Amino acid sequence: MALSTTGAISASAATPTARTVDYVALGDSYASGPGIPAQVDTACARSDRNYPSLLAAATHARLTDVSCAGATTTALAGPQGAQQPQLDALGPDTDVVTLTIGGNDIGFSGDLATCAGLAAKDPTGNPCQTFFTSDGTDRLEQRVDDTAPKIAAALDAVRQRAPRAKVLVVGYPDLFPDDGVGCTSSVLPLAAGDFGYLRDTEQKLNAMLAGQASAHGARYVDTYTPTVGHDMCRPAGERWIEPLVTVAPAAPAHPNAQGQQAMAAAVEHVLRCGAHRR
């Protein structure tokens, strides 16, 4: 299928009025695909089999991929080390933008490490939840709330630089068992009672992203629902998210090649179904 600049997805890549679509991918490591062969940008841990690359190939779009591992919303308008601001990749001719961001703003990787470290002290309890709510406030939920205006500002900036683009906010896939029942510590070293808490935190992050997308003229892509049943606790071959000790080539707690394929399919579905909308 090919995207056309008329706003539809045409069954033919060559039509009299169609031209190549300019697609810009923004975001963090869940977009860049760290560890998945082949890595084409080691500084940003970017794969040529990440979801932006798969989406561009499926839709015959011209891809500019500036997604970068470790990116926060700050890296959109400002530099990330030696990397230029991601928003610099946008322009008035940009047709499609995908944005996967927010996980690093809430400190997901550090929080997961903290929870894993606490698990040994109370493996059947919920020491992670107890730690992050010890002062009567859920500090992870507060971080999600604090990130919301940053997402809002990012979407407004995207719209300013690419005023006619279709903008899609791509959420995070299912990392933990959706039923809240965990797995053994040899697979994922978390306390039994913390799986549900971390699942809920991820769902709050995705809900915030969906709300900000709706409020700022973008569309939200749900990658959580189509990846339920393929979380870190599943055995190799079934999981699309690698656990902390990886088997498939991917970064810990990140989508493997199958996970990136599932994310690409979710984005393409929203583009196809919403082709007549902006």
Q: How far apart are CA 232 and CA 253, in angstroms?
A: 7
| Residue 29 annotated to the active site | yes
Nearest one of 204, 98, 217 to 148, comparing CA atoms: 204
Tokens of 127: 């020491």
Written in H, E and C, the secondary structure of 144-172 is HHHHHHHHHHHHHHHHHHCCCCEEEEECC
Active-site residue among 53, 67, 230, 254?
Answer: 254
Residue 99's beta-bridge partner residues? Answer: 26, 169
- For residue 137, the number of C-alpha atoms closer than 13 Å in the C-beta half-sphere is 7
Kind of pairing, strands 62-65 and 22-27? parallel
| Residue 276 annotated to the active site | no
**Residue pair 228/176 in contact by the 8 Å Cβ criterion:** no
Active-site residue among 29, 32, 47, 67?
Answer: 29
159, amino acid identity: R
Q: Which helix H or strand E contains 63, and what residues bound it? A: strand 62-65
Helix axes 195-215 and 139-161, enclosed angle (nearest 10): 30
Tokens of 4: 């056309």
> What is the Rg, in whole angstroms, of the alpha carbon atoms belonging to the chain?
19
- SS3 category, 178: coil
Q: Give catalytic residue positions.
A: 29, 254
